[in-house]
Amino acid sequence: MFRAIFLDRDGVLIENRSEYVRTWSDVEVYPEAIQSLGHLIGYKVVVVTNQSAVGRGLMTLETARAINNQLIDVFKKRGAHIDGVYMCPHAPDAQCDCRKPNPGLLLQAANDLSLDLTRSWMIGDAWSDLLAGKAAGVRDVALLKTGRGNDQLLQPKPVALNDYYVSHDLEDELTTTQKPDDSTAKQ
């Protein structure tokens, strides 16, 4: 069984867009995300992303998949790896089990990729990302201040989140992940 770093896509690897990432031209990759994943050792990297623009009829499932595939290629060409992308294409009112904060995407990835959730992390820019990680049984969760993270910190913390890390960006957080005995940033 492998350890994994589960990552939200928008706001963690790429810029978050209020009108959704609907085409490749909307994608702005965080350079530090590529660099930090390129140095990550000993973890599978899995992107788990809600893409409600598909369920809302703003883009096709094929377009969403193509964007994810191009993103994987960009990271690979620059020396970083992504082992899988799991996407919820449903609208928020669909009541599916894959839309974060539900754990379905993480559970599916764990099954497909032989992941040990108890030795894995979930990193995102929204409370829903952290809640999905906790519901799936990951060891630790972290909120990044990139994307929606700073705004999330102004909102009430969900009761289900007893402890979590807060980091400036993915590079900051992965430095902590590589040194799990350092809990100085834990909330």
CB 6 within 8 A of CB 122: yes
Beta bridge partners of 140: 121
Strand order, beta sheet including 84-88: 84-88, 44-50, 4-7, 121-124, 140-144, 165-167
CB 89 within 8 A of CB 58: no
The catalytic site residues sit at 8, 10
